[in-house]
Amino acid sequence: MSAAAVFCNKLVIDVVFVGEVSESQKQELEQYQATVKRQEAELVEVRQQLAKLSEIVDRQTDDMKQLNIEAKSVSLPLHSFTGNLLWLSVWQLMCRCFSL
């Protein structure tokens, strides 16, 4: 249970059984109320930022899907690249070994 909840419970008990609230309790309650309002405003701001980020992610996802479709339509078979890269790697290794 949070400190604010404990304080509110104690305040309710004091009001019901004692019938009055001390000045310090009133001030503390006002501080908690101010804290809650500030946190609510922060939460609204964070939710707005999250919504913006979500929109950005959705746009980027759509862009990536489109780029993937375009890449598939113009790409060469993968085996030709793989073979060429393998021979290039072997050639580079030979050059290093024999200082060519």
C-alpha–C-alpha distance, residues 57 and 47, integer Å: 15
Q: pLDDT tens-digit profile of 16-63?
A: 555 677 888 888 889 999 999 999 999 999 999 999 999 999 999 988
Mean pLDDT of the chain: 76
36 to 19, 31, 70: CA distances (angstroms)? 25, 9, 51
For residue 30, give the amino acid letter.
E
Q: What pLDDT does 45 receive?
A: 95
The larger pLDDT score, comparing residue 33 to residue 1, is at: 33
Question: What is the domain partition of the chain in residue ranges?
Answer: 3-98
The 3-state DSSP class for residue 76 equals coil
pTM over 0.95: no
